[in-house]
Amino acid sequence: MVVEKIMSDLDENKDGEVDFQEFVILVAALAVSTLLQHASGHRK
Ligand SMILES: [Ca+2]
């Protein structure tokens, strides 16, 4: 199931649940990815 795959990817320490720290890591990674795309002049 797709949701389980995402949860598995988010669960960095593999304890079976996504805690706040792991959620913050995800949000930070998405933010950096977005910023890098803007910085490289990538446009739609
Ligand atoms: Ca975890």
Task: Enumerate the domain spans of the chain.
Answer: 2-39
Separation of 33 CA from ligand 1 center, angstroms? 22
pLDDT of residue 6: 80
pLDDT of residue 36: 95
Buried-state track 7-44, b at ≥16 Cβ within 10 A, e below 16 = eeeeeeeeeeebeeebeeeeeeeeeeeeeeeeeeeeee
Both tokens of residue 16? 């079976």
Separation of 4 CA from ligand 1 center, angstroms? 13
- In the predicted model, residues of the chain with pLDDT beneath 70 are 42-44
pLDDT of residue 42: 62
pLDDT of residue 3: 85
At position 15, the amino acid (one-letter code) is D
Which of 20, 15, 18, 19 has its CA nearest to residue 6? 18
Q: pTM for the complete prediction? A: 0.58
Chain mean position to CA 40? 20
pLDDT of residue 20: 94
